[in-house]
Structure 1
Amino acid sequence: MSALTDEVKDPASPVALWLRSTFPDHKEIQKSFRVAAGPQQLLMPATVAPGTQGAAIDWWLRMLADGAVTLRLPLGGLMKRPGPWGEAGLELLSELGGIRAKVDRPVVGPLTPGQFADRNDEWWARVCYALALMGELFRAPVENSRLMSLSESSRAADLLALANDAEVADLIAMRDLARQRLLPSLPAGPVASGMTFDGSKDLNADADLIAGGMLVDFKAGQGGQPRADGTRAASLARSDLDQLLGYTLLDYSDRFGLHTVAIYLARFGYLGAWPLNELCTQLAGRPIDLTHLRAEFAEVLRGPLRTHWNQRSR
């Protein structure tokens, strides 16, 4: 099964085609977002691995807001792609959440950040980076992964050492900025992170954070192309909007009671938030019925998308 993040980036996908025909009016929202985000606050160091770094700060931001963070993705990565990193990864997950055996398959409980309040910033940064590396095993080949440098005798400490000093400092800086700019802006109410939706059985999707009915997607990219003076403006790709719409529509039963969707730019310290009905109405250029659109989206996933998958696999 494919993932929402992949389908919205594929212009030939029935998911992208349906979303862009149903919600065509995106340019004004993109323009307003770029202006409101302001200047980039944190530059990405040259020695940072951007993809892994983005996943690592996702983990840390979840831990700032959620008191019980699921670790099923890194465990799933270890189970999907066994290798010399396995023992080190299981040791770390055991230390963080406690692994128990269930039908000869390890199951990991949630990470409770409050249990590790005495740990320093460097430890937290390295833990988040290690979780990101293990999560990548679930989603991508490992040929270029730093996990390849580990051996059967490697321990959790070796796994934690894989983040370089620049990455650690960069993660701490993004965490500090989020404490100032993100946390005070989250609405009160139930918090969940890494959650899946009713429709995740039709299309793989797990969101970063839902707090008090606001769904927040984290982005740690640098923004648009550099200007002459080296600065960058924020960017909001059409696929970013489609990702927010996809999460919303995959919540078939409205289990999460979403009323707002948002993107937090970790290097800009900017939370761009839209009331859900207003955003959908503006993007569609007409009043919308969210219940009807969720049902229609499910039909796309169960019909045209599956046909598309079968054609791609031939």
Structure 2
Amino acid sequence: MSALVDEVKDPGSPVAMWLRGTFPHHKDVQLAYRISAGPARVLPSPAVASGTQGAAIDWWLRMLVDRAVSVDLALTGLMSRRVSCVRAGLELLFELGGIDREGRIQPVDSTRLSDRPDEWWARLCYALALWVELHRAASVEGSRLTRLGPDSRAADLLALANDDEVADLIAMRDLAIRHLLPALPPGPVCSGAAFDGSRDLHADSDLIAGGVLVDFKAGRGGKPRADGSRAAGLARAELDQLLGYAMMAYSDTFALHTVAIYAVRFGHYAAWPITDLCAQLAGRPVDFPTLRQEFARVLQVELPAYWAEPRQKRQSVAG
């Protein structure tokens, strides 16, 4: 099954075509977002592996907010046995509370380990990110996990993040405590949740809190300006991804009323009531339940037909 994050980047996909055709007026939203975000507050050193770092801070932010974080995706990557350090991974997951003594997965309540130092949390979240990469990446070549053997222990996994990455993660966490946590509404919290439409197209949320769907973005922004600062960007594909998440909650189980982006390196929380955002992007009033039904048809009928076409034909459409 394909993933929403991939479909919105493919201009020939029925998913991207429907979203961009239905919501063509995106430039004002992008401009307002860039202005309100201001410059990046935390920028990584060259020693930071940005892809893994983004996934690692996602884990830490979930741990800050959700007292029942699922580590299922990380465990799936670990148990794929594409690397030999499975024992070390299980040892670390048990220490975290993500599995019991019989190896059964259970939700993690980070408050149980609130006495652990920041460095431990940073290194733990980096290890979780590496395991998710095992699940998603086509190849394990270049993964730091390949440095470890079958006799490795949890401490060896925690040592895989370098000192710059640890410091960077702590700085982003500190920024989130000041700017993300106070912005979140009261109400039920769920991280990593799948939607009804996840049966049709792979997608899961970073965070849902009190009816607000929050997507974390850890990008460093655009090209450096003359003073070395960077401005935030909201790419069309990122906006489409946010809309897609909301559309895929067919039955409205989470009672979503607002979508938001938290720009991790900018400490910027931007939120939009769903119907207001859709109306602005569409350039007209919208019936959101009807839009959800239309999007479901795209995922269930048009997308399978698109993927059934020969690859050459799909590429010609995209081109």
Matched-pair contact (CA < 8 Å) for 1:194–1:207: yes
Which deviates more, 30-39 or 220-229? 220-229
Aligned-pair CA distance for 1:107: 3.6
Residue 239 of structure 2 corresponds to which residue in structure 1? 241
Matched-pair contact (CA < 8 Å) for 1:94–1:108: no
Determine helix, strand or coil for the equivalent of 1:264: strand
Determine helix, strand or coil for the equivalent of 1:99: coil
Deviations 1:223-248 (A, max 9, x none): 11111221111100011111111110
Matched-pair contact (CA < 8 Å) for 1:198–1:253: yes
- Partner Cα separation in structure 2 for residue 282 and residue 258 of structure 1: 18
Aligned-pair CA distance for 1:82: 3.4
Matched, 1:136 2:159: no
- Partner Cα separation in structure 1 for residue 230 and residue 200 of structure 2: 37
User: Which letter maps to 2:66?
Assistant: D
Aligned-pair CA distance for 1:100: 5.1
Aligned-pair CA distance for 1:68: 1.1
Matches within 5 A, 1:289-308: 289-308=287-306
Query: For 2:112, which of 105, 112, 115 is the aligned residue?
Result: 115
- Partner Cα separation in structure 1 for residue 186 and residue 209 of structure 2: 7
Deviations 1:261-284 (A, max 9, x none): 111011110001111110011011
The answer for unaligned runs of 5 or more in structure 2 is 313-319
The answer for unaligned runs of 5 or more in structure 1 is none
Residue 69 of structure 2 corresponds to which residue in structure 1? 69
Aligned-pair CA distance for 1:99: 2.7
- Scaled by the length of structure 1, the TM-score of the pair is 0.96
Determine helix, strand or coil for the equivalent of 1:11: coil
- Partner Cα separation in structure 1 for residue 16 and residue 127 of structure 2: 32
Matched-pair contact (CA < 8 Å) for 1:93–1:108: no
Residue 198 of structure 1 corresponds to which residue in structure 2? 196
Determine helix, strand or coil for the equivalent of 1:51: helix
- Partner Cα separation in structure 1 for residue 95 and residue 165 of structure 2: 23
Residue 286 of structure 1 corresponds to which residue in structure 2? 284
Let me know the Cα RMSD of the aligned residues: 1.5
Aligned-pair CA distance for 1:98: 4.6
Residue 54 of structure 1 corresponds to which residue in structure 2? 54
Residues 130, 25 of structure 1: alpha-carbon distance in 2 compared, 3 angstrom cutoff: same
Matched-pair contact (CA < 8 Å) for 1:63–1:113: yes
User: Which letter maps to 2:278?
Assistant: C
Q: Percent identity?
A: 64
Aligned-pair CA distance for 1:169: 0.3
Residue 18 of structure 2 corresponds to which residue in structure 1? 18
- Partner Cα separation in structure 2 for residue 276 and residue 260 of structure 1: 5
Matched-pair contact (CA < 8 Å) for 2:82–2:140: no
Matched-pair contact (CA < 8 Å) for 2:71–2:98: no
- Partner Cα separation in structure 1 for residue 237 and residue 98 of structure 2: 37
Matched-pair contact (CA < 8 Å) for 2:122–2:169: yes
- Scaled by the length of structure 2, the TM-score of the pair is 0.94
Residue 42 of structure 1 corresponds to which residue in structure 2? 42
- Partner Cα separation in structure 2 for residue 227 and residue 292 of structure 1: 43
- Partner Cα separation in structure 2 for residue 86 and residue 295 of structure 1: 43
Matches within 5 A, 1:271-282: 271-282=269-280
Matched, 1:147 2:145: yes
Aligned-pair CA distance for 1:81: 4.5
Which deviates more, 108-117 or 79-88? 79-88
Matched-pair contact (CA < 8 Å) for 1:25–1:285: yes
User: Which letter maps to 2:224?
Assistant: P
Aligned-pair CA distance for 1:137: 1.0
Which deviates more, 211-220 or 225-234? 225-234
Matched-pair contact (CA < 8 Å) for 2:78–2:131: yes
Aligned-pair CA distance for 1:313: 6.2
Matched, 1:219 2:217: yes
Aligned-pair CA distance for 1:97: 2.3
Matched-pair contact (CA < 8 Å) for 1:14–1:305: yes
Aligned-pair CA distance for 1:290: 1.3
Residues 254, 49 of structure 1: alpha-carbon distance in 2 compared, 3 angstrom cutoff: same
Residue 180 of structure 2 corresponds to which residue in structure 1? 182
Determine helix, strand or coil for the equivalent of 2:94: helix
Determine helix, strand or coil for the equivalent of 1:221: coil
> How many residues are aligned here?
311
Determine helix, strand or coil for the equivalent of 1:262: strand
Aligned-pair CA distance for 1:83: 2.3
Matched-pair contact (CA < 8 Å) for 1:126–1:168: yes
Aligned-pair CA distance for 1:143: 0.9
Residues 204, 81 of structure 1: alpha-carbon distance in 2 compared, 3 angstrom cutoff: farther
